[in-house]
């Protein structure tokens, strides 16, 4: 990766590809999400693959990878939004032509299972990708002003650089104090653990790492962190931003003991690097859109995260 490349900003009137590289979206939520995006002034092209179903996948690997590559290759497409997550993106990594993507940087947004694509594209191509809401998830349900404003502010270039404000009801907590500056990178913890050793996961060294997850019991979160700490350079990161870890209650009596918060504290408190918890990213009610690959400042003393640059070229 020679250097970081920012895609051009998009806005009302831009042509957006809607794809489903993981699981198939619910039809009612997809309709609502598409209606919302059209009302915001975006022109949409829904790839036929979005409505395919193969078990828990939105079509076979070839169909899903082809939709992604077609969207990046098409000169008329300005940005690419994922319909939903689920599972399946990890299977696509060997089928992607990263040289094509490298030469056609575009705003690409998703989260959860999309972590595999966001990080592999950033790693192989040096292109800023966006960890943010999806068409048939956040935009297909109750719309939340905080999430909506941060999404359009990030991709349209009107929000960043800025210090992120806490949404109502959120509370940032400190694991380790201190201040760190670096490139922000991260996503879904379980996906990142599964990417370890594949060659698609970027280095953590000197970077500000954000993590989130859902529906994983504490002992499983422990296992994912153990995997990353043994097989990657995550301990050499400059700082850590821990987002929301939702629905993590133990379901089986024999593995009760620590909570998710206690597991996270056990791993990150011993590193003596700035670490903040409670950040609005992940599977919670609110989320900011995070441009992976831009510089941020983490000030755990003040409990602030400041994006020092935009993720798009204006």
What's the structural domain count of the chain?
A: 2
- Count how many Cα atoms sit within 13 Å of the Cα of residue 137 in the half-sphere of its side chain: 26
pLDDT of residue 251: 77
In this structure, are 129 and 199 located in the same domain? no
pLDDT of residue 192: 98
Annotated active-site residue in 138, 212, 244, 286: 212
Question: Given pLDDT bands bounded at 50, 70 and 90, which one contains residue 229?
Answer: very high
Domain boundary at 115, 143, 171, which?
143
125-147: pLDDT as tens digits = 999 999 999 999 999 999 999 99
In this structure, are 225 and 274 located in the same domain? yes
In this structure, are 192 and 281 located in the same domain? yes
Question: Given pLDDT bands bounded at 50, 70 and 90, which one contains residue 255?
Answer: low
The answer to whether residue 68 is domain-embedded is yes
The answer to whether residue 286 is domain-embedded is yes
Nearest to 170 by CA among 249, 279, 265: 279
Annotated active-site residue in 112, 120, 190, 310: 112
CATH of the domain at 190: 3.50.30.60
In this structure, are 91 and 205 located in the same domain? no
The answer to whether residue 59 is domain-embedded is yes
pLDDT of residue 268: 97
Nearest to 234 by CA among 189, 293, 178, 181: 189
CATH of the domain at 115: 3.40.50.10740
**Arithmetic mean of pLDDT over the chain:** 95
Burial class of residue 15 in the structure, from the number of CB atoms within 10 Å of its CB (0-12 exposed, 13-18 middle, 19+ buried): middle
The answer to whether residue 1 is domain-embedded is no
The answer to whether residue 4 is domain-embedded is no
What average pLDDT does this structure show over 98-114?
97
In this structure, are 105 and 232 located in the same domain? no
The answer to whether residue 171 is domain-embedded is yes
Annotated active-site residue in 131, 283, 286, 310: 283
In this structure, are 214 and 281 located in the same domain? yes
pLDDT above 70 (res 181):
yes
Q: Is 212 a catalytic residue?
A: yes
In this structure, are 286 and 191 located in the same domain? yes
pLDDT above 60 (res 254):
no
pLDDT above 90 (res 257):
no
Domain boundary at 76, 110, 143, which?
143
The answer to whether residue 177 is domain-embedded is yes
Domain of 121, in residue numbers? 15-143
């Amino acid at each position: 990766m020679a250097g970081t490349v920012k895609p051009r900003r998009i806005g009302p009137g831009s042509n957006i590809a809607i794809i489903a590289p993981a699981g198939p979206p619910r039809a009612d939520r997809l309709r609502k999400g598409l209606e919302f995006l059209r009302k915001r002034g975006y022109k949409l092209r829904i790839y036929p693959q979005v409505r395919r179903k193969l078990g828990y996948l939105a079509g076979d690997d070839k169909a899903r990878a082809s939709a992604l590559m077609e969207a990046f290759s098409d000169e008329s497409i300005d940005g690419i939004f994922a319909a939903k997550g689920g599972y399946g993106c990890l299977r696509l990594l060997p089928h992607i032509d990263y040289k094509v993507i490298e030469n056609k940087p575009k705003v690409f947004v998703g989260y959860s299972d999309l972590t595999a694509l966001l990080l592999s594209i950033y790693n192989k191509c040096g292109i800023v990708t966006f960890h943010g809401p999806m068409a048939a998830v956040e935009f297909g349900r109750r719309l939340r002003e905080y999430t909506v404003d941060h999404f359009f502010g990030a991709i349209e270039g009107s929000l960043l650089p800025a210090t992120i404000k806490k949404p109502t009801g959120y509370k940032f907590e400190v694991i380790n104090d201190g201040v760190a500056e670096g490139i922000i990178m991260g996503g879904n913890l379980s996906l990142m653990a599964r990417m370890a050793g594949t060659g698609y996961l970027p280095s953590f060294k000197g970077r500000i790492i954000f993590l989130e997850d859902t529906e994983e019991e504490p002992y499983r979160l422990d296992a994912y962190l153990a995997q990353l700490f043994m097989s990657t350079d995550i301990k050499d990161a400059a700082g850590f931003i821990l987002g929301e870890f939702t629905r993590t209650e133990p379901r089986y009596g024999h593995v009760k003991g620590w909570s998710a918060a206690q597991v996270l504290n056990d791993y990150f408190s011993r590193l003596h690097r700035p670490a903040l918890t409670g950040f609005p990213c992940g599977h919670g009610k609110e989320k900011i859109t995070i441009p992976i690959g831009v510089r941020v400042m983490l000030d755990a003393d003040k409990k602030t995260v400041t994006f020092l640059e935009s993720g798009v070229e204006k």
